[in-house]
A = this chain, B = another copy of it.
Amino acid sequence: MAKEVTKRSENYSQWYNNLVVKADLAEQSAVRGCMVIKPYGYAIWEKMQRILDDMFKATGVQNAYFPLFIPKSFFSREAEHVAGFAKECAVVTHHRLMNDPDGKGVVVDPEAKLEEELIVRPTSETIIWSTYKNWITSWRDLPILCNQWANVVRWEMRTRLFLRTAEFLWQEGHTAHATAQEAQEEAWRMVQVYADFARNYLALPVIVGHKSPNERFAGALDTLTIEAMMQDGKALQAGTSHFLGQNFAKSFDVQFTNKEGKQEYVWATSWGVSTRLMGALIMAHGDDNGLVLPPALAPIHVVMVPIYKSEEERNAILEKMEEVKKSLEALGKSVKIDDRDTLRPGFKFAEWELKGVPVRLAMGPRDLAAGTVEVHRRDTLEKETMSLDGLGAHICKLLDDIQANIYQKAYDFRQANVEKCDNWEEFKEKIQDGKFLLCHWDGTAETEQKIKDETKATIRCIPEDSFVCEEEGVDIYSGKPSKQRVVFAISY
């Protein structure tokens, strides 16, 4: 099985597409651009959801649910927002099917045309702010800190499983505040939650920073982002948090009476991560054998494969394995015994490597007699024979090591592929080689656009961490003065 996955070095893009399908994570559906998330892929997403949800709630956020549909007219309200979002989307125009009068099947009932078309939400700022208008009267009603886990639809022309699909799953937080400062602090708090999650669970060494005005979310005054480097050196935007100012409050007339008794518009943020994180996870850590899952997000921590010839051996080994399984489960680890009788151990090894299970235990009759087990770690593919005594503690430590090692490997890779660059010719070469380049930028949209037109590179962010970037210099393209370096890269 694992052999069918294309090698990264041959075709990284095809390796990714292959892996998503072969590892049973997701597949294309009968509906153009919409994916089916298979149980193994969904189990990883569920782990992400649970962890993020707890992190959100720890900051005081509550979940809620807002409608799937948005009246078309709402998209005209916030001028910038409509420009950025209202183009490619799913439009509901009718509400009834009828039997085809000419024969078989069903057709749309022309009588059942909606007075106003409904748009399947591409994001929910408009419907949520139209709702907040009824929730907010006084400063006492603020802040409102809501999040929703939902599906959204953006009619993308070119789709790729997890990375860019017409329908995807995400969470979108929408907060309302009495002051600009509070809202900015909230946007910052949430991008830090994302960075924390990315680093400690996804094992992704992300860079936190601001988007340039060109790359901001439609309607935002500031967009904070976490940017990750994939193994081909391309950047992947893994999460964003927006300070929206009073734009949506003004569009939907959401005012409150402040402590001084004066009417003011409410300040807003929104922030989201999506099933795109699945793509990041796969692309950042996978190898030519398949997925490499950080233990913090692996649905199965340990898989056990029995090696036997006779039924008697099989029974004895499986019995011992059940014992080991119980002891590991008591330590909070998720364990699977692969007792399928029709498959060879080698096939099973390859399959669980493909699926990225962090630790594999193999046990044959000799191990059983000696009270040992062969321990294989997925990240380094190293094997060692261990005593069953003290195995639990060893596995716990090993899983921690694997988590740390996956992060370290990604961190080292990124560090090896980030460079300061002050020469335009060098820039054009290195950006094609998959480097993140720390370059001076004059702060203008024109320069940014010209660089993009010539090289496809964009400003991924103006970093707030990871690299010291404040320094006087001259723009790499225009030669105009610059006060700090920014991260340029080609992105997904």
Interface residue? A492 (CB, 8 A): no
Known: A30-B127, A34-B68, A167-B67. A95 touches B105 (CB 8 A): no
In chain A, residues 108-158, which have Cβ atoms closer than 8 Å to a Cβ of chain B?
108, 117-120, 127, 130-131, 134, 140, 146, 150-151, 153, 155
Nearest Cβ distance between residue A338 and chain B, in whole angstroms? Answer: 14
Whose C-beta in chain B lies nearest to the C-beta of A98? B87
B69 engages A31 (CB within 8 Å) = yes
Which residue among A67, A94, A140, A155 has the maximum number of chain B CB atoms within 10 Å of its CB? A67
Contact with B along A25-60 (1 / 0, CB 8 A): 001011100111111001101100000000000000
A97 engages B108 (CB within 8 Å) = no
Contact partners of A140 in chain B: CB under 8 A: 342
Contact partners of A331 in chain B: CB under 8 A: none
Whose C-beta in chain B lies nearest to the C-beta of A167? B68
Contact of A31 among B42, B67, B134 (CB under 8 A): B67
B63 engages A46 (CB within 8 Å) = yes
Interface residues on A, range: 35 or more
Nearest Cβ distance between residue A406 and chain B, in whole angstroms? Answer: 25
Q: How far is the CA of A132 from the CA of B161 in the complex (A)?
A: 19
Whose C-beta in chain B lies nearest to the C-beta of A299? B62
B76 engages A30 (CB within 8 Å) = no
Q: How far is the CA of A73 from the CA of B88 in the complex (A)?
A: 23
Contact of A131 among B30, B70, B153 (CB under 8 A): B30
Contact with B along A60-93 (1 / 0, CB 8 A): 0011111111111111100000100011111111
Interface residue? A96 (CB, 8 A): yes
B62 engages A36 (CB within 8 Å) = no
Known: A36-B64, A92-B90. A117 touches B127 (CB 8 A): no
Contact partners of A134 in chain B: CB under 8 A: 27
Known: A36-B64, A36-B131. A71 touches B119 (CB 8 A): no
Whose C-beta in chain B lies nearest to the C-beta of A46? B63
Interface residue? A218 (CB, 8 A): no
Contact partners of A27 in chain B: CB under 8 A: 131, 134
Known: A66-B29, A76-B106. A96 touches B155 (CB 8 A): yes
Interface residue? A104 (CB, 8 A): yes
Q: How far is the CA of A105 from the CA of B72 in the complex (A)?
A: 9
Whose C-beta in chain B lies nearest to the C-beta of A35? B67
Which residue among A76, A94, A95, A131 has the maximum number of chain B CB atoms within 10 Å of its CB? A95
List the interface of chain A (C-beta within 8 A of B): 27, 29-31, 34-39, 42-43, 45-46, 62-76, 82, 86-98, 104-106, 108, 117-120, 127, 130-131, 134, 140, 146, 150-151, 153, 155, 167, 169, 342
16 A–B contacts from the bound complex (CB under 8 Å): A31-B70, A31-B71, A36-B64, A39-B146, A42-B63, A43-B63, A69-B167, A72-B97, A72-B108, A75-B106, A76-B105, A87-B97, A88-B96, A90-B95, A92-B93, A95-B155
In the A-B complex, the 10 residue pairs with the smallest Cβ-Cβ separation, listed nearest first, are: A39-B62, A34-B67, A76-B105, A37-B65, A91-B94, A95-B155, A93-B93, A90-B92, A31-B67, A29-B67
**Additional A-B contact list (20), CB under 8 Å, known A31-B70, A37-B65, A97-B119:** A27-B134, A29-B127, A30-B131, A31-B118, A36-B67, A36-B131, A37-B64, A38-B64, A42-B62, A42-B64, A68-B153, A69-B90, A76-B104, A86-B97, A87-B96, A87-B98, A91-B92, A92-B92, A150-B151, A151-B151
